[in-house]
Amino acid sequence: MSSIPSETISKPKYILITNGESYVGHSLAIFIADQLVRKEGQLKKNWRVRVLCEDKKKLQDLEKKGIEVKEVDYEGQAVLRDQMKGQIKTMICNPFSQNDDRLIHRGKNLIDAAIHNKIKRIMMISMMGCSFSEDKETPAGQFNLLEEHLRNCFKYGDWVVFRIPMIQQFMYFWSSMIENKSVIGMPIAESNMLTTVNIKDVCECICQAALSKKCIVWGQTKNDDVISDGSSSNSEYVTTHTTLKRVYGLTSDNVMTLTMIAQALSDALKEAGFSSDVEPATITREQLESYLKFVSEEPAEDKVESFLTIIFPDIIAKKRNISTGGLLSNFRSLFIGSEVAKPCEMDDPNWYPSPPRFLTPFCIQVILDHLNISRQPEIPMLPSSDVRDITGRKPIDLSSFFMKNRRQFRPEFVN
């Protein structure tokens, strides 16, 4: 009996992740690669992670972790098809592009290239509430069109869509506002409810789906007559006829108003020894957009308070007993690896979204669109049980995120 050539046995199989420069793509690459290393033999032998990007220099940290990084031009099919050759077991289509005006075109190119190369499974990351938007000028509308393209073109393949709401780690972008003004400002009213998800829950759900054929997403059924946004898996069905569930909404277990968010943060800071409350503030979309653009530029510390005073003239800064340098200095230090995460206390620095790196113009528009959707009473943004169903555990809620990472919002308590 002839033996199987060793090169055949060891031929790598890939999980392909697109747009690795984005926060979601970057986090997924690290998480899945880490799972493959930690559980080698238990999960998949000879499996690797391949990440597509537009500039390899921005992902040198991934290459140092042994992740294969490929530079591509999303505008054309040829290069994309070339990087999808070989044993690509699953493509994670992450459309969180650096270029919002080309998102639809580039997303379709990725899906079409995957279909041409006969990739068996496509998992797409999308935006909660997108099914209610038809405006191609908004991120939600663009994600909606891409979902439709996947649904129409890959209808006979294995595909699934994971819709996500506001990511909890994006709350770090409000740090300098909290530090200098003791407020958390958003363009939403008191009655509006915001749905969130922790990036760790997103990564764990997608990782399980990518690595296991037994994951619930490849076998769960739902009623034919229900058009779901993925925002609730507890709907009552009209009939008993079922089809494969394709859309999952990854959320925490609860929704929160702006006042509830401010209170949760205040409670966490009190646990860290800070006695004053963080106040909620309803601001305009334009004010928040200006603020996020300012934060993304990594401004000098001496410019922060004056800038905040200009865009928030009605919000008076509270005098606080803080260490020299303030929160922004500490916030910045987390992104250059100077802080070491404490087990069971705060997140690993890999989860922190560096503003200069990840708070891109498109990311800002996604954040603003999430907040805009939360203001629409006709759009149901109810919590889903999908994270619990996929992972078997309770999802991380925003209050727990604040409590666990309270030291990151309180500089003098960081060692």
Contact present, 150 and 159 (Cβ < 8 Å): yes
Distance CA 6, CA 10 (A): 6
- Please tell me whether residue 360 adopts helix, strand or coil conformation: coil
Helix H or strand E encompassing 313: none
| Length of the chain (residues) | 415
Return the pLDDT at 252: 97
CATH 3.40.50.720 fits 11-164+199-249, yes or no: yes
Return the pLDDT at 142: 94
Distance CA 91, CA 110 (A): 9
Q: What are the phi and psi torsion angles at 229 (to 5°)? A: -90, 0
Contact present, 395 and 253 (Cβ < 8 Å): yes
The domain limits of the chain are 11-164+199-249, 170-194+253-381+392-413
Distance CA 287, CA 184 (A): 12
Q: What are the phi and psi torsion angles at 183 (to 5°)? A: -135, 160
Q: What are the phi and psi torsion angles at 280 (to 5°)? A: -80, 145
Q: Which residues pair with 69 in a beta bridge?
A: 51
H-type helices in 117-196, by residue range? 139-153, 175-181
Quickly count: other Cβ atoms within 10 Å of residue 340's Cβ.
9
Digits of tens for pLDDT over the chain (415 positions)? 445 454 445 788 999 999 999 999 999 999 999 999 887 555 567 899 999 999 999 999 999 999 999 999 999 889 999 999 888 999 999 998 776 678 899 999 999 999 999 999 999 999 999 988 878 889 999 999 999 999 999 988 899 999 999 999 999 999 888 888 889 999 999 889 999 999 999 999 999 999 988 899 988 665 543 334 544 444 433 334 456 899 999 999 999 999 999 999 999 988 877 777 899 999 999 999 999 999 999 887 778 888 888 877 776 555 444 433 344 444 444 444 444 444 446 788 889 999 999 999 999 999 999 999 999 877 777 899 999 999 999 999 999 999 999 877 753 333 3
Amino acid 279 reads E
Helix axes 103-116, 139-153, angle to 10 degrees: 20
CA-wise closest residue to 36 among 26, 46, 28: 46
Write the Ramachandran bin of 182: left for phi over 0, alpha for psi from -120 to 50, otherwise beta. Answer: left
Q: Which residues pair with 256 in a beta bridge?
A: 194
